[in-house]
Structure 1
Amino acid sequence: MGEVNLNRLAVFVALVRAGSFTAAAEQLGQTKAMVSQHLARLERELGVTLMVRSTRRMALTEAGAVFHADCVRILGETEAAIERVGENRETPRGTLRLTAPVNYGAMVVAPALAGFLRMHPEVRVELVLDDGISDLIGGRFDLAIRGGPLRDSGLRAVRLAGFRQLLLAAPSYLAARGRPRRPQELAQHDAILLSVLSSPAHWTFAARNGTRARVRLMPRALADSAAAVHAMALAGAGVAVLPDFMVDADLAAGRLERLLPTQRLPEGSFHAVYAGLHAPAKVRAFIHHLRQVIAGNAD
């Protein structure tokens, strides 16, 4: 048996349902000759006779009747599969597996997920917090929340929000070591650095008049988690650069103090990143919800 053209199955089922070549041709929008050719080629591909026909009537052979029942089942399953794909495209459902940096994930993404789950009862969530760059494909992630520059141009990215990076220290550290007044003075201070950054010790400060100063912080401690950097800074181990969303409460309470407030560090941003041309409904819906939460527009 040669290779079978599956499109001919639909023509065969339509022919049996219509009861004649003329009626089938009208239903399919084809010529009567084309319908006849499809049947002849299908029989040749299968190597069996499916129908016996005369000038007045046609009838299924025994093999044709069995094959017709199988075709009806196959086409029905195909239509159901297409319908299910369409439902998944339009309605959020299934498991949303996503990854995010530890602190941003705990402080922003996780609370947003709680509201998202209330809105979409057919969705389950698996959240993996990791300050490294997780492999979306290898890790079977539907979505990643990433901060900083995007490295993989093959992924789709949606910007979520920007954030300021602030130079900080605890009052206890400043009481013991003094407060730097210029970026160059940071070389005399202990720094707590986030090791997962591409250049954790090198920072460029921009003054209000536009002048820039590139400095190298002196590493006293390295950590692969922003939470650990934050904890050590609170404990007075040194100066640190941390995102504003993470330290706003500490600044308000006086647990940390901002250093060099007239100097600005490069701003960062968070993106929602996913693979593939068409994101499933669950991914699109959560990205929209997360952006609403960040903007303060979510219920």
Structure 2
Amino acid sequence: MAELRDLNFNRLVVFAAVVEAGSLSAAAERLGLAKTMVSAHIQRLEAEVGATLIVRTTRRSNLTEAGRTLYEASRECVRVASDALAAISAASGPLRGAVRVASPIDYGVLVVAPALAELRRMHPALEVELVCSDGYVDLVAERIDVAVRLGNLKDSSYRSAPLGQYLRWLVASPAFLAGRQRPVLPSELAELPFVALSTLTHPYTLSLRATSGERERVRCKRAFLANTASACSAATLAGAGFGLLTNFSIGEDLAAGRLVRLLPQWAGEPAAIQAVYPSTSQPSPKVAAVIEALRTYLTRIDQPRAIARR
């Protein structure tokens, strides 16, 4: 039976990198080691634990049951050690190293990118990578330190930090409204072409709430379907139909008259903006800095919005 004193912990780092990178070659490139050295570390680690961890073929490497068990522990060891080193570094000076942040595309472009740019100016030694995608991002598999999620969270295994809220407003272009009678009731929206987001569970069903608290659901006719929020915005601006678009993405278009709000007393249900990160006792200094940068930026850009709504 292997004992803790028999393990070389450097090899746990190499083993975790091989699992996450998917191959010895990719892990070697990530770690800056020769492939033969990575292979030797894995072989010696298997000898130390007394079990086969990885079954290697010509095309890929597969974990054994023992390998999966050790990987879960190795991943946690590496993460805790990395957080400790980052905490020590943060206590003694500016943030250093790399941080990977994930975000939906339009929110990443409009909010996250400028917030991270400000963070980077404060910490020039910090390497920032922003990954924008409207699809689901697996934080562990894609080595994401913190992800911004819009709406209800589905990741019970992750920690989360609230950033704010957003609304979806009913809008249309002046060209689309020309020659049409504007709706005065939510039910009248069912007769108008609608630009829908296909990634939603029920893309053609609107769940609306009035400022008075009244709620109503409207089933819209099929007209235009797109798989990204940016495409829905573009189609709405081009007059393909009316849209239910996020308030953070359309402020300039409303101010310039390129879009017009419909039924301004109605909006989609308020939805949360949250940062999620892999489960740890405390967020690492880099993750904490990203969250604080986002909160600071959101507070600043929300102030003029609040004044404009008065």
- TM-score in same-fold range (> 0.5): yes
Change (3 A) 1:116 1:207: closer
Q: CA deviation at 1:163?
A: 1.3
User: Could you say which residue in structure 2 is the equivalent of 1:282?
Assistant: 286
Change (3 A) 1:86 1:262: closer
User: Could you say which residue in structure 2 is the equivalent of 1:143?
Assistant: 146
d(CA) in 2 for partners of 1:158 and 1:207?
A: 28
d(CA) in 2 for partners of 1:135 and 1:4?
A: 31
Contact 1:166 1:243 in 2 (8 A): yes
**1:192 and 2:187 equivalent?**
no
User: Could you say which residue in structure 2 is the equivalent of 1:89?
Assistant: 87
**1:179 and 2:179 equivalent?**
no
Listed as ranges, the matches of 1:1-299 within 5 Å are 86-90=84-88, 91=90, 92-277=95-280, 278-296=282-300
d(CA) in 2 for partners of 1:4 and 1:162?
A: 47
Secondary structure (helix, strand or coil) at the match of 2:250 reads: helix
Q: CA deviation at 1:179?
A: 1.4
Which is worse superposed, 268-277 or 203-212?
203-212
Q: CA deviation at 1:5?
A: 5.5
TM-score (norm 1): 0.69
Secondary structure (helix, strand or coil) at the match of 2:147 reads: strand
Report the AA paired with residue 291 of structure 1: R
Secondary structure (helix, strand or coil) at the match of 2:165 reads: strand
d(CA) in 2 for partners of 1:244 and 1:270?
A: 13
Q: CA deviation at 1:269?
A: 2.1
Report the AA paired with residue 103 of structure 2: A
Change (3 A) 1:286 1:264: same
Contact 2:170 2:267 in 1 (8 A): no
Structure 1, residues 218-260: CA drift from partner, whole Å, max 9, x if none?
2211111111111111111101001111111111111101001
Change (3 A) 1:286 1:188: same
Q: CA deviation at 1:171?
A: 0.7
Secondary structure (helix, strand or coil) at the match of 1:264 reads: strand
RMSD value over aligned CA atoms?
A: 2.3
Structure 1, residues 88-108: CA drift from partner, whole Å, max 9, x if none?
124232111111011110111
Q: CA deviation at 1:270?
A: 1.1
Structure 1's unaligned 5+ residue stretches are 7-81
Contact 2:205 2:218 in 1 (8 A): yes
Contact 2:169 2:266 in 1 (8 A): no
d(CA) in 2 for partners of 1:210 and 1:292?
A: 30
Aligned residues: 222
Contact 1:169 1:240 in 2 (8 A): yes
Structure 1, residues 4-36: CA drift from partner, whole Å, max 9, x if none?
858xxxxxxxxxxxxxxxxxxxxxxxxxxxxxx
Report the AA paired with residue 186 of structure 1: L
TM-score (norm 2): 0.67
d(CA) in 2 for partners of 1:83 and 1:205?
A: 47
Report the AA paired with residue 247 of structure 1: I
Report the AA paired with residue 255 of structure 2: A
Report the AA paired with residue 266 of structure 2: Q
d(CA) in 1 for partners of 2:217 and 2:251?
A: 25
Secondary structure (helix, strand or coil) at the match of 2:266 reads: coil
Q: CA deviation at 1:215?
A: 0.7
Which is worse superposed, 104-113 or 88-97?
88-97
When Rg is computed on C-alpha atoms for both structures, the one with the higher figure is 1
Structure 2's unaligned 5+ residue stretches are 7-79, 302-310
d(CA) in 1 for partners of 2:136 and 2:143?
A: 14
Contact 2:275 2:291 in 1 (8 A): yes
d(CA) in 2 for partners of 1:168 and 1:121?
A: 41
d(CA) in 2 for partners of 1:85 and 1:164?
A: 35
Change (3 A) 1:118 1:196: same
Contact 1:191 1:239 in 2 (8 A): yes
